[in-house]
Each structure stands twice: as C-alpha cells, then as structure tokens.
Amino acid sequence: MQKRKLGKSNLEVSAIGLGCMGMSTAYGPPADQQKMIGLIRQAVESGITFFDTAELYGPFTNEELVGEALAPFGGQVAIATKFGIKLGPGGQQLVDGRPERIKQCVEGSLKRLRVAAIDLYYQHRVDPNVPIEDVAGAVQDLIREGKVKHFGLSEAGVRTIRRAHAVQPVTAVQSEYSLWWRRPEEEVLPVLEELGIGFVPFSPLGKGFLTGTINENTKFDSSDFRQIVPRFTPDARKANQALVDLLRKIAERKKATPAQVALAWLLAQQPWIVPIPGTTKRTRLEENIGAVAVELTPGDLREIDSAASRITIQGARYPEELEKRAGL
C-alpha cells in the first residue's frame, strides 16, 4: 500500500483509508459487529492505516467498534474521529462547538477508541454561534495536553479554514468530493494547497452510486439515508447513469472496475488527497484497495474531465436542511 502525507503535517497514512460510518448507521440496519471487527482488521492486514469514525455515528457505537477492532494495532494505525454534533429531542442533530463541550467530548472518544491520544480530531460541522478561533484554541489545548495529535475540519468553507489555521495549524479538511460532487475544486482545494493542508474526501464513490451497482430500480432499506437524498430519487439515478457509463468505459480499458477508476481519479488529483471509501463487505474492501494500482495517464484524465463536463448531474446531494450546515 502506498503512503501519503496529509499536507505539510507529519501525519502519514495509507493512500486510501476506510470510512467506518456505514458499519453502524446511515445505510440501513447496523452490520454484525463481529464481522465488522474482522473487516477492519483485514483492512489493517491489507495495508490500510487510516480509519475514520465520529462520536455521532451510532451515536457512540461506531467509535466503540473501531476502538475494539484496532486495539491490537496500537501505534500502527491513525484514527480520525469528530466532535461538534449532538443529538437533541427526537434525534435531531444539533451543532455544538463550544470549547467546554469539545473538552468533554474528547474524554468519551478517548475511552471508546481505547487510545491515549486521537490522531486526527475534526470539527464535524462548523458551529455558526461559536467563533472558529475558540474551537481551534480548544483543540490546541488538547494537543498541548497530549490528548489530540492533529486538528481537522469537516465541510468547512475557505474563510473558516483560514481563520482556524491561523490559530492552530489544520492538518486535514474532510468534505465530500468525487466525480459527481466537484465543488471543492472551486475554492477549497486551491486554499488547501496554498496552506499545506491535506484533503480527505468522504463519499468518494458517491454513496455507492459510482460503483455501478445501483440503478433506478434499486430498493433501499427504510433506514437508509439515501431514501431522503434528492440525488437518489429513481429519476435522478436514471439520469446519472451516464457518469457510471463513463467510468465503466475507462474501467474496461484499464481492466479495473468503475469504483477503482473513480478512486484512482481522486488519487490523481493531488498527492495530499486521501479518500476514505466505506464498506461492510470484504470483496468491496479488496476492490477499493486495488484502486491504488490503477494508473490513469494525463490523457485518461483529460478524457474523463472532458466527458464528465458534458454530463449534468441531477439532484441535490443533501436535503436542504442538511446542505445549509455545509461549507460555512
């Protein structure tokens, strides 16, 4: 497995990480815990050293799962987790970035993850009611105390990134990025390059769509988050197949899969980009790892960009109330 450094930091991780959220929530009922522990451990044995979770996932159960699975590998892997969203009445998600809450949250995460220090601690979503300087200062305190090693932001806009970075250097920004969501290219990626910050794309396979295994007839479980995503209505799925067709065409030429081409495209964008595809299946894990070996030439990349520019993706990536929280 190739290694990559996240920006100018000394945090070196596998070129592809593993997003663990879907093992506990969002994509249907939670998967079998023992099977997921086995899957995470297989990922380590296959060379993955970067694992992503959050306090919110479950809530709490995903951190516990990751902590148990990775307990035998202390010092060999990097675990990223997140603070800043709590559950309110009726399961409503509320942002809360107050320094006192951050310092409270870290204790729970350390315990659940079974670690002495969190490798990368992201603010899950920006809290518009708390100055980002206060958030960065609170994480800086945790770094000085040895409880956190690196500071990260998730779905933050460029002004927030600059202001936070001025207080405590930001090691990585995590946001959605893939061939079907390219907005980070407009402002975020140029600023990250300027400041020397790494980028961690979540949903690098378009919440599964870019694998080529989903079409307009696919039925989702009632607890699957994609049920409420405008981009996953049957009509949108039918229209968006054009992008999968493009990936499939390149994949056939490369003796790869559409998912591998989608991940290889991300890896080719910048050497400080580390995607974190999630899965609950061993075959998919092996497929995703195989993307590191898929080499896209400059000509391939031009062909993909040219063809993709002629495809209009249908449907918003989030319901409106969730989209409002992104990119502050």
* CATH number for 137: 3.20.20.100
How many domains does the chain divide into?
A: 1
The phi and psi torsions of 194 (rounded to 5 degrees) equal -60, -45
Given the residues 27, 57, 121, 177, the one annotated as active site = 57
* Whether residue 201 has a cis bond before it, omega within 30° of 0: no
282 belongs to a structural domain: yes
80 belongs to a structural domain: yes
Q: Name the helix (H) or strand (E) containing 87.
A: strand 85-87
Q: Name the helix (H) or strand (E) containing 36.
A: helix 33-45
158 belongs to a structural domain: yes
- For residue 91, the model assigns a pLDDT of 80
Q: Which domain holds residue 215?
A: 3-323
167 belongs to a structural domain: yes
- For residue 328, the model assigns a pLDDT of 64
The phi and psi torsions of 262 (rounded to 5 degrees) equal -60, -40
Q: How far is CA 323 from CA 59, 89, 135, 161, 312, in A?
A: 21, 21, 22, 18, 19
- For residue 321, the model assigns a pLDDT of 75
For the entire predicted model, the pTM comes to 0.96
The phi and psi torsions of 87 (rounded to 5 degrees) equal -90, 125
Nearest of 146, 14, 22 to residue 77 by alpha carbon: 14
328 belongs to a structural domain: no
Q: Name the helix (H) or strand (E) containing 95.
A: strand 93-95
Catalytic: 57?
yes
pLDDT in tens, the chain (328 residues): 999 999 999 999 999 999 999 999 888 889 999 999 999 999 999 999 999 999 999 999 999 999 999 999 989 999 999 999 998 888 888 999 999 999 999 999 999 999 999 999 999 999 999 999 999 999 999 999 999 999 999 999 999 999 999 999 999 999 999 999 999 999 999 999 999 999 999 999 999 999 999 999 999 998 899 999 999 999 999 999 999 999 999 999 999 999 999 999 999 999 999 999 999 999 999 999 999 999 999 999 999 999 999 999 999 998 887 777 666 6
272 belongs to a structural domain: yes
